[in-house]
Amino acid sequence: MPLTNAQVTAHAFLAALYGDDCFPVSAVDRRRAVLLTLCGRLETDRPADLAGPYTLTHAATEEISGLQAEFEAAGSEIETVARDELGGEFLFIARAYGFGDADTEELIAPRDW
C-alpha cells in the first residue's frame, strides 16, 4: 500500500546519512525501509492517542537496533550524527501524522544506538 501522507512522501529520509561516506548506502537503505514501514503502519492503524505511535515507534526502534551489525561490518557505527538523524526522523514522522506533542526520547526509548 503506497503512503498517502504528502509530508512523508515528499521527505528525504536520512539525507544526512546518505550524504556521508561513513555510512554504507545499503545499511542506510534498510533503516529508511524501517521508517517507511512505520509510516505505513501509522496510516493503516491510525492510532487514536499518543500511546499508539509510541508502541509503533518502539517496535521500529528495536528493529533498527537489530541492524547495528550491518554498520559495524562495514567499519561504521551509529554515532552522534546517525543517532541525531534517526531521532529527528522519528519526531518528523510523529508530527507528520498529527502527534506534535510526542517526546523524541520516548519515541525511541528502547534504542540501543
Per-residue pLDDT, 23: 87
Residue 47's φ and ψ, nearest 5 degrees, are: -55, 140
Residue predicted with more confidence, 12 or 48: 12
How far apart, in whole angstroms, are the C-alpha atoms of residue 113 and residue 110? 9
Per-residue pLDDT, 100: 94
Per-residue pLDDT, 79: 73
Collapsing DSSP to helix, strand or coil, 68 comes out as: helix
How far apart, in whole angstroms, are the C-alpha atoms of residue 78 and residue 30? 13
Question: Of 16, 1, 7, 2, whose CA–CA distance to 93 is shortest?
Answer: 7
Give residue-wise pLDDT tens across range 70-107: 777 777 777 778 889 999 999 999 999 999 999 999 99
Collapsing DSSP to helix, strand or coil, 49 comes out as: coil
